[in-house]
Amino acid sequence: MFDTISMLVNAFGPSGRENRVAEVVTQMIKDKVDEISSDAMGNLIAVKKGSGKKIMLAAHMDEIGLIITTIDDKGFLRFGTVGGVLPLISLGQRVVFENGLTGVVWYEESIESMKDAKIDKMYIDIGAKTREQARELVEIGDMAVFEGRPVEQNGLIISKALDDRVGCAILAELARRCPATDNEIYYVFTTQEEVGLRGARTAAYAIRPDLAIAIDVTRTGDTPKSKPGAVSLGEGPAIKVKDNSVIAHPRIRERLVDCARENGIPFQFEVVDKGGTDAGSIHITAGGIPSGGVSIPTRFIHSASEIVDIKDVENAARLLEAFIKF
Ligand SMILES: [Zn+2]
């Protein structure tokens, strides 16, 4: 599982630029599914044919990033955000562009307090001396992502972009296992989740599944003075009850609970008031699609160093395997 996750997190893929991730996924699963295609939004849709229910499993390929807005005459880049990027978490980070160029995020040192370290007081230094020199390397509209190579340590994985390449890894592993089922399984690797759950909406409309599950990360409440939260690292995948985008369909939630209990898989319940997942757009598409979620407890979401427990990841794959065979 770590190797699969590593290959996926290392692929460059901010929202709207997911094609490299899609290529990695395609190589991983193309021999194990009956059809694989991409749509106008860039969603990658792999199908394992069957005569039973149409089940859509969705994980998003895009990661958060920065987008160049202006380049000053000294060659420093000003930027906007792609998805939920917090200024304080960006400070001092290395970022990398699609062409491999590295930059460092820093701030205008005249600010009085770090509270004033807003994105518009920050810049990326790529070591260029002039605007012209910078423009040989980057252009307005180019995107960069955090650098943060994957590390396996004490049963945990630390990396950038675990949100949501860990979900992509679970779907890819599941597709490779070819679970024996009559159901028709749609492994959908979606785009532009971080900017508004966009890819999943068109994919679900086209597929019109009988039911859908989004696989994504969820924050934990187990770090010092963190906001209270029910989910902890290492205590099992979280079965979604509610987030800010969806109230899980009760029958899907119950079925996930039954699958976990019958197979001795530990689980937790996810009830959060912030953040959304692809289920948020899927469930209100095409006349309504019963939807739920399986979430991986994750520390430090939307940083260059997100942390998951590999047991939770493996148990999420087991839970989904049981679910699609049900
Ligand atoms: Zn996500």
Q: What's the CA-to-centroid distance between 72 and ligand 1, angstroms?
A: 33
**Per-residue pLDDT at 111:** 86
Q: How do residues 12-22 score in pLDDT, each as one tens digit?
A: 999 999 999 99
Q: What's the CA-to-centroid distance between 218 and ligand 1, angstroms?
A: 8
CATH entry, 65-146, from 1.10.3720.10, 2.40.30.40, 3.10.20.30, 3.30.565.10 = 2.40.30.40
Q: How do residues 127-168 score in pLDDT, each as one tens digit?
A: 999 999 999 999 999 999 999 999 999 999 999 999 999 999
The answer to whether the Cα torsion of 7, 10, 11, 14 is positive or negative is positive
Q: What's the CA-to-centroid distance between 242 and ligand 1, angstroms?
A: 15
For range 255-264, the mean pLDDT: 98
For residue 143, the cross-strand partners are 67
Q: What is the spatial distance between Cα 49 and Cα 323, in angstroms, rounded to a whole number?
A: 16
With a cut of 80, say whether residue 52 has pLDDT above it. Answer: yes
Show Cβ contacts of residue 42 under 8 Å, excluding neighbours closer than 6 positions: 16, 18, 19, 22, 191, 192, 199
**Per-residue pLDDT at 227:** 85
pTM: 0.96
**Per-residue pLDDT at 112:** 86
Q: What's the CA-to-centroid distance between 162 and ligand 1, angstroms?
A: 8
**Per-residue pLDDT at 179:** 86
Q: What is the spatial distance between Cα 67 and Cα 46, in angstroms, rounded to a whole number?
A: 30
**Per-residue pLDDT at 92:** 94
Which positions are annotated as active-site residues? 193
For range 269-278, the mean pLDDT: 93
* CATH hierarchy code of domain 2-63+160-325: 3.40.630.10
For range 269-285, the mean pLDDT: 94
With a cut of 90, say whether residue 229 has pLDDT above it. Answer: no
Q: What is the spatial distance between Cα 239 and Cα 124, in angstroms, rounded to a whole number?
A: 39
User: Over pLDDT 90: what percentage of the chain?
Assistant: 94
| Per-residue confidence band for 275, with pLDDT thresholds at 50, 70 and 90 | confident
**Measured CA distances, 273 to 58, 89, 246, 314 (Å):** 21, 22, 10, 26
Residues, beta carbon < 5 Å, ion ligand 1: 163-164, 216
Give the start-to-end residue ranges of the domains of the chain. Answer: 2-63+160-325, 65-146
Q: What's the CA-to-centroid distance between 55 and ligand 1, angstroms?
A: 20
Mean pLDDT across the chain, nearest whole number? 96
Q: For residue 23, report the phi and psi dihedrals to the nearest 5 degrees.
A: -65, -40
With a cut of 90, say whether residue 77 has pLDDT above it. Answer: yes
| Per-residue confidence band for 115, with pLDDT thresholds at 50, 70 and 90 | confident
**Per-residue pLDDT at 228:** 81
- The answer to whether residues 60 and 200 touch, using CB atoms and an 8 Å cutoff, is yes
**Per-residue pLDDT at 37:** 97
H or E element that contains 170:
helix 162-177
For range 280-298, the mean pLDDT: 97
Q: What's the CA-to-centroid distance between 112 and ligand 1, angstroms?
A: 34
| Per-residue confidence band for 114, with pLDDT thresholds at 50, 70 and 90 | confident
